[in-house]
């Protein structure tokens, strides 16, 4: 088979790596890919939001199957577009992708189907928002109602911070936001829970805890994710039953009631409050860096899983996992998530100890003239599988020391809640 993967981040390198292990695959194209994907696939420099251009490439190269990595093309309807042209594609359609594309769509779905979530209010302009803030109890969660690459969320401890959040959102910091969403602050612990669905059946696809904040001890600004570990320490059978019955099943029913089906990965961002799950947000794809953390533990051919989803035969497949702990640490460019330099050279890749338990997935990198450069804020993902999280952390830190990239930084405490200090 010839496979095309859309996207250029760490998630897409992890997907490419998993797909490359399948004996069903003859050739992989990454559109546009990164320095890491170029080692196991052919990178194609195209704009993935230019659907016509993408389709022309797929047709010309007789692509059998397309895997969509990031949220933008999904929310913009690439699945509907390609399916109409008889191209097999893995990912949710435009209607289903509103679960991520519009936080207000998801909140209204929660209200209608009695899905536990934080109390909320929606406002269309700054004036209405300021009036709400004046009477609101803090801390307060404020979100832009549009895609913001995991960054359009503020946790405001006082009124002054809330005012600033509203100003930044309506000034277009995260693109055009027609609405703003206010939520009560839930005191608990976050957990990422994943399923894969073929529209009729769904199956568990891992759990994780992501570290979003830039600073040690989960402090500082929100980022796209500084690291993760899997499985989540909160994960257990009793909690999973609550997640399925109260959140996942009602959500899929809500999508079905709209006259469509949910097909693809679904990522539920949860807050666990006294053993009760509350939905914070949905992502309509694998998370990043959760994908990099979870996929190395997959012990079933991922192409077989994708094919079973396309053919609505997921119930016929047994998804197996390697029984190991997985930890991922993201190496970022100095200054991230604010201003940072690009096109910085990275050396010492040949010194890394990479094997069946230790992985490196590229994110914001570019290969040119046999040299690798940083082109993004989150640059590399170091992953280790082990029987213990502390051993995994030790392996990752040894590789980070070997790389010795002085233009970058990483959080040294990823997984601190599961690692004895």
Q: What is the pLDDT confidence band of residue 146, given thresholds at 50, 70 and 90?
A: low
The residue among 388, 385, 375, 299 whose CA lies nearest residue 341 is: 375
Query: Which pLDDT tens digit goes with each residue over 311-323?
Result: 999 999 999 999 9
**Confidence (pLDDT) at 61:** 97
- Give the pTM: 0.91
pLDDT at 421 over 80: no
Please report which confidence band the pLDDT of residue 327 belongs to, taking 50, 70 and 90 as the band edges: very high
Q: Which stretch of 98-107, 168-177, 250-259 has the lowest confidence by average pLDDT?
A: 168-177
Write the CB contacts of 81 (distance below 8 Å, at least 6 apart in sequence): 51, 55
Q: CA-to-CA distance for 321 and 296, rounded, in angstroms?
A: 9
Distance CA 185, CA 141 (A): 6
Contacts 24+ apart (CB under 8 A), 386-389: 386/324, 386/325, 386/327, 386/357, 387/324, 387/325, 388/325, 389/229, 389/325, 389/327, 389/415, 389/418, 389/419
> Which pLDDT value is given to residue 352?
98
DSSP H helical segments within 152-236, as ranges?
Answer: 159-170
HSE of 209, CA atoms in CB hemisphere, 13 A: 20
Confidence class for position 337, pLDDT limits 50, 70, 90: very high
Q: Is the pLDDT of residue 171 over 90?
A: no
Rama region for 150: left / alpha / beta (φ>0; ψ in -120 to 50; rest): left
Mean pLDDT of 338-359: 97
Mean pLDDT within 36-65: 97
Rounded CA separation 95/260 (Å)? 8
% residues pLDDT > 90 (the chain): 81
Instruction: Name the pLDDT band for 137 (thresholds 50, 70, 90).
Output: confident
Q: What gap in Å lies between CA 246 and CA 253, rounded to an integer?
A: 11
The mean per-residue pLDDT over the stretch 257-283 comes to 96
Higher-confidence position of 23 and 170: 23
Q: Which pLDDT belongs to residue 179?
A: 81
Mean pLDDT, residues 389-393 taken together: 97
CB 377 within 8 A of CB 337: yes
Residue 15: predicted pLDDT:
98
Nearest to 87 by CA among 57, 48, 46: 57
Beta carbons of 110 and 279 less than 8 angstroms apart: yes
With 90 as the cut, is the pLDDT of residue 288 above it?
yes
Residues 6+ apart with CB under 8 A from 277: 116, 191, 239, 242, 243, 246, 247, 270, 271
Q: What is the mean pLDDT of residues 163-177?
A: 82
**Is the predicted pLDDT of residue 147 greater than 60, yes or no?**
no
Q: Can you tell me whether residue 243 is helix, strand or coil? A: helix
Q: How confident is the model at residue 103 (pLDDT cuts 50, 70, 90)?
A: confident
Answer whether residue 148 shows pLDDT above 60: no
């Amino acid at each position: 088979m010839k496979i095309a993967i859309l996207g250029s981040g760490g998630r897409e390198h992890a997907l490419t790596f998993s797909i490359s292990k399948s004996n069903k695959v003859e050739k992989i194209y990454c559109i546009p890919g990164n320095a890491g994907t170029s080692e196991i696939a052919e990178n194609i420099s195209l704009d993935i939001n230019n659907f016509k251009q993408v389709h022309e490439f797929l047709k010309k190269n007789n692509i059998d199957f397309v895997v969509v990595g990031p949220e933008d093309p999904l929310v913009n309807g690439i699945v509907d577009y390609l399916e109409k042209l008889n191209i097999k594609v893995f990912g949710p359609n435009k209607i289903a992708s509103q679960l991520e594309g519009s936080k207000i769509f998801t909140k209204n779905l929660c209200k209608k189907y009695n899905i536990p979530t934080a109390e909320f209010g929606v406002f269309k302009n700054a004036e209405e928002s300021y009036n709400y803030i004046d009477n609101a109890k803090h801390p307060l969660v404020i979100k832009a109602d549009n895609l913001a690459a995991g960054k359009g969320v503020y946790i405001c401890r006082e009124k002054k911070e809330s005012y600033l959040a509203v100003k930044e959102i309506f000034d277009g910091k995260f693109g055009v936001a027609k609405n703003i969403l206010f939520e009560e602050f839930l005191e608990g612990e976050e957990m990422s829970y994943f399923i894969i669905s073929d529209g009729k059946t769904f199956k568990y696809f891992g759990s994780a805890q992501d570290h979003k904040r830039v600073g040690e001890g989960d402090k500082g600004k929100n980022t796209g994710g500084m690291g993760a570990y899997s499985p989540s320490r909160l994960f257990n059978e009793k909690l999973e039953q609550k997640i399925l019955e109260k959140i996942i099943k009602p959500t899929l029913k809500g999508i079905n009631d709209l006259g469509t089906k949910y097909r693809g990965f679904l990522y539920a961002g949860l807050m666990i409050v006294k053993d009760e799950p509350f939905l914070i947000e949905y992502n309509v794809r694998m998370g990043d860096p959760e994908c990099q953390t979870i996929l190395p533990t997959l012990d079933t051919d991922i192409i077989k899983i994708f094919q079973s989803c396309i053919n609505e035969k997921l119930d016929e497949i047994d998804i197996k996992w390697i029984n190991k702990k997985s930890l991922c640490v993201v190496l970022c460019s100095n200054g991230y998530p604010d201003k940072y330099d690009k096109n910085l050279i990275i050396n010492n890749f040949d010194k890394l100890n990479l094997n069946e338990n230790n992985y490196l997935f590229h994110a914001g990198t570019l290969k040119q003239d046999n040299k690798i450069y940083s082109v993004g804020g989150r640059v590399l993902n170091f992953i280790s599988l082990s029987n213990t999280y502390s051993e995994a952390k030790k392996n990752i830190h040894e590789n980070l020391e070997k790389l010795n990239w002085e233009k970058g930084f990483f959080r040294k405490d990823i997984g601190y809640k599961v690692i004895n200090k």
